[in-house]
Structure 1
Amino acid sequence: MKGFILSFRSEFYKTRKTLGFWGAIILPVLISLLAFVAVYTKSDKFVNTPPMMLWVQLSMISLGSMGSLLLPIYTIFVAYSVNNVEHKADTWKTLFSLPLSRWAVYGAKYFYALFLLFLCLALFVIFNIAFGNLLGALKPELKFGEYHMELELVQVYYKLFLSALGILSIQFLLSLLWADFLKPMGLGFVATITGVILASNNWEYSYLFPYAHPMGAVRSMIKNNKGPANHLEINIYTHEVYVSLIVAVVVFVAGYYIVQRRSIK
């Protein structure tokens, strides 16, 4: 465990100046800010909108972009950037020659990439809530304060996080095995576009394709319930999430065994 903690900490120091790290912060700030500006500048069009729908309109600006392309692409880039540090410096052999188990090195790298993905989505929740309340304060005619959507936003982004784990595991393994940029990133981009096409065309088996999971997760977000019209119930554990978790675990374990037996040059 001590080796894992040391490896995890070293990942932070190695990547704290990279785009992969700062992307986890900049991406939610920029997109949430754009959503804020869009609603603020067109506030007259939202004056008669019910409070719940105001929150939905604000949140969907971020969710629409994250669920379709940005989340898969960012996940692919994070997996690449964490391993590219070692590829670029040619330090894999040195890293695995340290008095640390390969599990500690492999696990720390994977969970650091997982942490960056979690940080990015957690900041989306925080900034969505913050900018929604700020809009309510700056534009009192927009009744953001009359509805609380904090729990639903946490559930939504938690589902997105789970839906991206399969992609993260696949891309992490590919970027660990291949040093060049084109193979893991190129395959990831092609798979993402394929996943978007499958999910947007409602192919019944799209939930079996990991790169379609984020968009599928957004599309299956709202439960079909007969409750009050001013209440949202988020459907978290859908087919996409279950398959994503299975793929994530299987590929993570398979990746460890590959690294365990692979000679690092």
Structure 2
Amino acid sequence: MRQVLRGESLKLRRSSLFIVVILVPLVVLAYELLNLTYRGEYVQKQAEMFKASSMWQYMLFDNSMLFGLGFPLAVTIIASIIANIEHQTNSWKQTLSLPISKVRIYLSKYIWLFNSLLLTTTLFAIGMVVLGKALGFEEPIPWGLLFGDSYVMLLTALPIMSFQLWLSITFKNQAFSILIGTVSSIVGLFLAAGITTRWFPLAYPSQSSTIILQYEGLGINPDLSAFVVINVFVGLMLLIVGALHFKKRDVL
């Protein structure tokens, strides 16, 4: 498996993968920097109105929707980049002719997708700490909430990861998979607003923040553990289905 992963890394070095990995957290953090710098008084009033216990808490809530939209889009683009290497060079036949099981090839691409997004969430978590300190937040750093906000997002996006990778590998035209991923990301925001539809997997990323707005103000997300369990299960099931479908195909 290590050799397969190493082979994937050699292919990905010539791609724009790492630009996307870095760009997503930078965009979200840039938005927060501008928002908290140039709209400081308004943000302070908003934090008081929402009864935020600290500016850290308000910042986590404020960027949850933006990151909830941006992260699924990052999943879509990164999955497309990883799958498109073979599509662009028409090398699927050559890849599948290697003395390696198709399931391992499929899983290697999934591992690269997961690790790339893990790096994205790590950069986001570190950037949040740096941003809060740079803006002079006086309260102690809520490490659990900060890292929870970042890595829980990764877990709640597992179904999207499994589906988008399968879609990107199955269809050569990457415009199709990117279109589906983009529309799904936007639809997820609307689904999250409904009482019943918020339990659809597409709606989870925008609800995976540790902090949500409740009737009494900002507080800990009570449904977070349920979101994680459901998404890990659904994500693994979709991964297995995708790997089995890939195994049955002769030439892509």
TM-score range, shorter chain: 0.7 to 0.9
1:206 and 2:206 correspond: no
Judge conservation of contact 1:46–1:54 (CA < 8 Å) in 2.
no
Which residue number corresponds to residue 245 of structure 1? 232
Q: Which deviates more from structure 2 when the two are superposed, residues 127-136 or residues 94-103? A: 94-103
1:28 corresponds, among 17, 25, 47, to 25
Question: How high is the TM-score relative to the length of structure 1?
Answer: 0.82
* Structure 1 residues 223 and 193: alpha-carbon distance in aligned structure 2, compared to 1, 3 A threshold: closer
Post-superposition shift, 1:47? 7.3
Partners of 2:22 and 2:131 lie apart in 1 by: 16
Partners of 2:164 and 2:26 lie apart in 1 by: 25
User: What is the RMSD of the two structures over their aligned residues, measured on CA atoms?
Assistant: 2.8
Give SS of 2:54's match: helix
Tell me the amino acid that sits aligned with residue 33 of structure 1: A
Which residue number corresponds to residue 139 of structure 1? none
Which residue number corresponds to residue 149 of structure 1? 142
Which residue number corresponds to residue 182 of structure 1? 175
Post-superposition shift, 1:30? 3.1
Which residue number corresponds to residue 58 of structure 2? 57
Post-superposition shift, 1:108? 0.8
Which residue number corresponds to residue 104 of structure 2? 104
Post-superposition shift, 1:45? 5.7
Post-superposition shift, 1:150? 1.8
Q: Which deviates more from structure 2 when the two are superposed, residues 28-37 or residues 114-123? A: 28-37
Judge conservation of contact 2:28–2:63 (CA < 8 Å) in 1.
yes
Partners of 1:74 and 1:81 lie apart in 2 by: 10
Aligned residue-pair number: 247
The Cα offsets for residues 150-183 of structure 1, whole Å up to 9 and x where unpaired, read as 2211112222111111001011111111110233
Gaps in structure 2 of 5+ consecutive residues: none
Post-superposition shift, 1:223? 9.9
Which residue number corresponds to residue 34 of structure 2? 37
Post-superposition shift, 1:251? 1.1
Partners of 1:261 and 1:46 lie apart in 2 by: 54
Q: Matched residues, percent identical?
A: 24
* Structure 1 residues 223 and 33: alpha-carbon distance in aligned structure 2, compared to 1, 3 A threshold: closer
Question: How high is the TM-score relative to the length of structure 2?
Answer: 0.85
* Structure 1 residues 113 and 41: alpha-carbon distance in aligned structure 2, compared to 1, 3 A threshold: same
Judge conservation of contact 2:75–2:161 (CA < 8 Å) in 1.
yes
Q: Which deviates more from structure 2 when the two are superposed, residues 251-260 or residues 9-18? A: 9-18
Tell me the amino acid that sits aligned with residue 99 of structure 1: P
Partners of 1:148 and 1:46 lie apart in 2 by: 19
Partners of 1:262 and 1:176 lie apart in 2 by: 11
1:254 and 2:247 correspond: no
Partners of 1:105 and 1:125 lie apart in 2 by: 31
Partners of 2:188 and 2:172 lie apart in 1 by: 25
Judge conservation of contact 1:152–1:232 (CA < 8 Å) in 2.
no
* Structure 1 residues 71 and 44: alpha-carbon distance in aligned structure 2, compared to 1, 3 A threshold: same
Partners of 2:70 and 2:106 lie apart in 1 by: 26
2:207 corresponds, among 207, 211, 216, to 216
Judge conservation of contact 2:72–2:205 (CA < 8 Å) in 1.
yes
Q: Which deviates more from structure 2 when the two are superposed, residues 235-244 or residues 154-163? A: 235-244
